[in-house]
């Protein structure tokens, strides 16, 4: 007779039962940052992959560099300089399995269970889950229609520190904040950098939505404003291209990144995917951004347009 092996009492104290997710795909999904399907550059990604395979496909027989494909890191460094206003060496760029892996590695490198992390009062549920999994006490700072309020953040830092809970870091999505949609003005960002220096608190800047802009201009990044190493910068190619690619990256000071990479769930980002993304974006970045954002703009306008029933007024009884 075969008996079932019992794991009773064998699980780690922090493990919890987690159901396997099988997400459904609504025709119109307003809860997730999915790109419009018609903008998916599938053929162009295949062409980019072919170009990359011809150049360095033989390297797929080896594990890639732990910080990711060199060609993609070189492209990313140039993109950051042009789009976000700061210069880094390709060696300073670490490619990850989406911005989520980048954020989690940095969170685990900079926090301990029981410590305090400050975020916007409303914060992306994915990162909130990561912070809670890391055992952090998450405290939301007041916001308004422009995002974090510097004076309120300063007061919060002061009160938390006085109570013996000095924050380990500030986590923020300053551009197209999730879930509020706000973009933090450059003037406030400069104030917040000064406040964080005053309290000696580093910033984790999640810039994953910055490419999705169809009105106005992106604000200056925290990483461009501050060159001391206080800011760790995270961004994503999944939002710009396809979430299923699971490709993001981070830039941080040498001492931070050498701690963060130890918490990665894999030894390196997918080399095959990296070849396709670099091959496509190195030739079509601006063209793709323009196409994507034109589609998003049209969909936003359709969403905000009054319906015919609203225009006609209430029905008469």
CATH code: domain of residue 206: 3.40.640.10
Extract the residue ranges of the chain whose pLDDT is less than 50: 315-317
For 70, the domain range is: 44-277
DSSP H or E segment with residue 114:
none
Say how many domains are in the chain.
1
Q: What is the model's pLDDT at position 121? A: 96
Count Cβ atoms below 10 Å from residue 108 Cβ, excluding itself: 17
> Does residue 186 fall inside a structural domain?
yes
Flag whether 314 is in a domain: no
Whether 96 maps to a domain, the answer reads yes
Which residue in 191, 241, 230, 184 sits closest to 207, CA to CA? 184
State the residue for tokens 């802009």.
Answer: 213
In a domain, 294, yes or no: no
Looking at residue 316, its pLDDT comes to 44
Residues 88, 253 contacting (CB under 8 angstroms): no
Residue 8 within any structural domain of the chain: no
Cα(99)–Cα(269) distance, rounded to whole angstroms? 11
First to last CA, the chain: 74
Is 300 within 8 Å of 214 (Cβ atoms)?
yes
pLDDT of amino acid 307: 67
- Residue 249 · residue 233 · CB < 8 Å: no
Instruction: Tell me the Cα Rg of the chain.
Output: 22
Distance separating alpha carbons of residues 74 and 274, to the nearest angstrom = 12
Residue 18 lies in a domain: no
Residue 26: inside a domain, yes or no? no
Name the token pair of 222: 């925290």
Question: For all residues of the chain together, what is the average pLDDT?
Answer: 91
Please choose, from the candidates 245, 165, 237, the residue with its C-alpha nearest in 3D space to the C-alpha of residue 201: 165
Residue 25 lies in a domain: no
Cβ neighbours around 120 below 10 Å, total: 24
């Amino acid at each position: 007779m075969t008996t079932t092996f019992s794991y009773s009492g064998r699980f780690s104290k922090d493990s919890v039962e987690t159901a396997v997710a099988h997400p459904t795909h609504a025709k119109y999904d307003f809860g997730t940052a999915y790109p419009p399907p018609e903008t998916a550059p599938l053929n162009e990604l295949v062409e980019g992959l072919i170009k990359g395979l011809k150049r360095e496909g033989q390297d797929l027989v080896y594990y890639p560099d732990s910080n990711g494909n060199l060609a993609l890191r070189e492209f990313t460094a140039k993109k950051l300089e042009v789009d976000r206003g700061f210069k880094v060496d390709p060696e300073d760029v670490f490619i990850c399995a989406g911005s989520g892996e980048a954020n989690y590695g940095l969170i685990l490198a900079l926090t301990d269970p029981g410590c305090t992390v400050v975020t916007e009062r409303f914060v992306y549920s994915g990162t909130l889950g990561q912070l809670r999994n890391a055992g952090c006490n998450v405290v939301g700072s007041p916001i308004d229609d422009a995002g974090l309020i510097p004076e309120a953040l300063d007061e919060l830092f002061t009160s938390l520190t006085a109570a013996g809970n000095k924050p380990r870091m500030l986590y923020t999505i300053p551009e197209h904040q999730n879930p509020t949609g706000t973009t933090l003005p450059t003037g406030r960002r400069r104030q917040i950098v000064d406040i964080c220096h005053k309290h000696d608190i580093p910033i984790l800047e999640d810039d994953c939505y910055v490419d999705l802009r169809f009105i106005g201009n992106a604000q200056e990044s925290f990483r461009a404003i501050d060159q001391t190493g206080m800011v760790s910068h995270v961004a994503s190619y999944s939002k710009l291209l396809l979430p299923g690619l699971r490709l993001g990256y981070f830039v941080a000071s040498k001492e931070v990144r050498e701690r963060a990479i130890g918490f990665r769930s894999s030894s390196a980002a997918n080399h095959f995917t990296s070849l396709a993304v670099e091959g496509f974006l190195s030739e079509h970045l601006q063209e793709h951004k323009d196409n994507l954002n034109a589609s998003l703009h049209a969909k936003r306008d359709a969403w905000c347009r009054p319906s015919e029933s609203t225009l006609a007024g209430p029905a008469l009884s």
